[in-house]
Amino acid sequence: MTDRDLTKSLKDSAFKMNADIIGFADPTCFLNPDYTGNKPQDVMPDVRSVIVLGVSVPHGAFETLPAGRAEYTNTLMAGTATLRVIAFQLAKLIEKKGYKATILPSEGSEFGYWYANKETLKANMSIKYAAYYAGLSNFGMNHLLISKEYGPKVRMTAILTDAELDNETEITLPFVHEHCSSCLKCIKICPAGALSEDGTIDKHKCADYMFNTLGGLRCGMCIKVCPL
């Protein structure tokens, strides 16, 4: 049965702890035939809800790129640390109610693709896909999540739980943001040539650029130029 009280408590607690975004996705979305990534069901077979959490990232971190790459990287990691604290408290709140919860790594957290499969560079679950089915965002041509309120300038994580939360969401957004086809700025700016007009990304080129060319600092140029 849907636990509406817990859903409300999680929302209230997240905003009190300065999260900017929270939503709930039905994990059966990952069983759609169009989804080709790893599934949360492989991590938690009885998962009933995916909680998607986000914080917006200060604009100065993007405006000062590329000179401010160290500051940008550090600001992103501060966002990740903030999300971890919030997600940890929410996971404990869920477990106090008798359910179980575990926290997914933020996409692109401090070890880059450290958490991902080394060959495919795919994470255990696409947080972006969950965010779409939680009604929070859609996709940009830069392969980043375009949140309704903050565009791509966000940091995200997710919690898996066997609690049945209120995740009935009407999906109104197109899968890819409607502004992208007349923009393509992210594709033109990408220094690694990782993004293509057909909507694909070469993750290895992006990872190689950040972890070899930049020595581990983040790039962020595809987010900086995004007008959304």
* Positions that interact with ligand SF4 (CB under 6 A): 140-142, 177, 179-180, 183-186, 190-192, 194-195, 206, 209, 219-222, 225-228
Query: Which residues on neighbouring strands pair with residue 25, listed in sequence order?
Result: 50
Query: Which residues on neighbouring strands pair with residue 145, listed in sequence order?
Result: 139
Residue nearest to ligand SF4 (CB): 140
CB of 33 to ligand SF4, least distance (A): 25
Q: How many CB atoms lie within 10 A of CB 46?
A: 10
Nearer of residues 20 and 208 to ligand SF4, judged by Cβ: 208
Nearer of residues 13 and 191 to ligand SF4, judged by Cβ: 191
Nearer of residues 30 and 72 to ligand SF4, judged by Cβ: 72
Nearer of residues 19 and 186 to ligand SF4, judged by Cβ: 186
Q: Rounded CA gap, 67 and 140, in Å? A: 25
Instruction: Spell out the residues 6+ positions from residue 7 whose beta carbon is closer than 8 angstroms to its own.
Output: 24, 165, 166
CB of 189 to ligand SF4, least distance (A): 6
Nearer of residues 123 and 159 to ligand SF4, judged by Cβ: 123
Q: List helix spans (H) across the chain.
A: 4-16, 40-43, 60-63, 69-96, 127-133, 185-189, 203-208, 221-224
CB of 62 to ligand SF4, least distance (A): 12
Contact (CB, 8 A) for 101 and 91: yes
Query: Which residues on neighbouring strands pair with residue 157, listed in sequence order?
Result: 53
| 168, containing H or E segment | none
CB of 25 to ligand SF4, least distance (A): 21
CB of 177 to ligand SF4, least distance (A): 6
Q: How many CB atoms lie within 10 A of CB 130?
A: 29
Contact (CB, 8 A) for 25 and 161: no
CB of 222 to ligand SF4, least distance (A): 3
Nearer of residues 97 and 185 to ligand SF4, judged by Cβ: 185
